Amino acid sequence: MGGLRRINVRTLSKLLLMVAVMFGFGYAMVPFYRAFCELVGINQLGDRASEITARNSQVDESRTITVEFDANAHGPLRFKPAKSSLTVHPGQIATIEYEVANQQGHEVRAQAIPSYAPAQAASYFKKIECFCFTQQTLKAGEAKEFPVVFVVDPKLPKDVNTITLSYTFFDLGEKNADPRTDASKATQVGGLNAGATGGGKGTNG
């Protein structure tokens, strides 16, 4: 009888030890999971989603803005918006696609420079995602579609009901072009960017 009792006590002790180990493992997984999320950027995505949701909660449904889209290309690039215009509410997150095609027989780099009309609208047109933030590389004959995700600030003056967003796509030449020529083109594009109506500042890059 005493031997059976000792066996039961040992079995119970093992079970309690297993429960304690499992609880400790589960507790330790919380900081491990947080560290993993920070490593792969999941928390950043969550913060980004929260930011977008916060902006979207400020939609002014009592007012509509017509956003017109224009596209120009320097060099043999085909460049156009998927739609000529969109009607949005201030504070509403919207997306427009731009199509660009490299009609040359070699790889090229290009940079899109935005401008706005009226000029005062530039500081109220906030781009969340835009291909104009960086240079783009297109292979010979390659065509791409680039999204522009934007929101019109609800603080836009009441007398502005239409905004025109115009992009000019500059062909910077081949990827391995003469660096002196490339520097000259970069200077030209930078000068035009500085002269654009409010473009290239802050999130409007």
What integer is the mean pLDDT of 62-68? 97
What is the rounded CA–CA span in Å between residue 147 and residue 164? Answer: 17
Q: What is the pLDDT of residues 144-163, one digit of tens each?
A: 999 999 999 999 999 999 99
Cis peptide before 118 (omega within 30 of 0): yes
58 or 168, which is more confident: 168
Indicate whether this model's pTM tops 0.85: no
Domain ranges of the chain: 2-40, 65-204
What integer is the mean pLDDT of 5-33? 50
41 or 161, which is more confident: 161
- Do 144 and 136 touch, CB atoms closer than 8 A? yes
Write the single-letter amino acid at 4. L
Instruction: Give the pLDDT score at 15.
Output: 54
Q: Confidence class of residue 44 from pLDDT cuts 50, 70 and 90?
A: very low
Instruction: Give the pLDDT score at 201.
Output: 36
- Average pLDDT of the chain is 73
Q: Can you read off the two tokens belonging to residue 106?
A: 């070699």
Q: Can you read off the two tokens belonging to residue 143?
A: 């065509």
Q: Please state which of the four CATH numbers 3.10.50.30, 2.60.370.10, 3.30.565.10, 3.40.50.300 is assigned to the domain occupying 65-204.
A: 2.60.370.10
Identify the DSSP state of 156: S
What integer is the mean pLDDT of 18-33? 43
Single out the residue of 119, 112, 120, 115 nearest to residue 172, CA to CA: 112
